[in-house]
Amino acid sequence: MSYVGRMWRGELPLAVTFFGFHLGGWATLFALGHLLSRTMPVAGYVWASFLLIPIWLAFFVWSLTGLWRAAEHVSKWPKMFARGWVMVVGLTLVQTLILPIFFK
């Protein structure tokens, strides 16, 4: 639990936050969703999706908040540069929410 709390507070280095938690977590969630879509019948997949969506949204908020706070602690780069990359990541994640809805 200490890594989860430290990530939330932005106490971990930015590289660990981005590559370890952010990208690693998203890869795990997408792999889990793909695995569920391959192994469950359609009715089970719908219920699994209802369970995964809140987890996905909670992870979205947690990882973006941790990434933002870690970017604020970066001293080598100007804060606007670090915040710019956080905004790029945030827009990319929002895009993953919107595109599947409109382009099935």
First-to-final CA distance of the chain: 37
Percent of the chain with pLDDT strictly greater than 70: 78
- The pair of structure tokens assigned to 63 is 């990882």
pTM above 0.85, yes or no: no
| 73-to-36, 57, 85 alpha-carbon distances in Å | 38, 25, 14
Task: Give the integer Cα–Cα distance in Å for 96 and 100.
Answer: 7
Q: In whole angstroms, what is the distance from residue 72 CA to residue 47 CA? A: 38
At 10 the pLDDT is 80
Q: What is the pLDDT of residues 25-41, one digit of tens each?
A: 888 887 887 777 777 67
- Provide mean pLDDT across the span 31-55: 74
Q: How far apart are CA 85 and CA 55, in angstroms?
A: 24
Would you kindly state where each structural domain of the chain is located, as residue ranges?
2-102
Decide which of 97 and 27 is more confident: 27
pLDDT higher than threshold 80 for residue 66: yes
In this predicted model, what pLDDT tens digit does every residue of 67-91 receive, in sequence order? Answer: 878 877 775 666 666 677 777 777 7
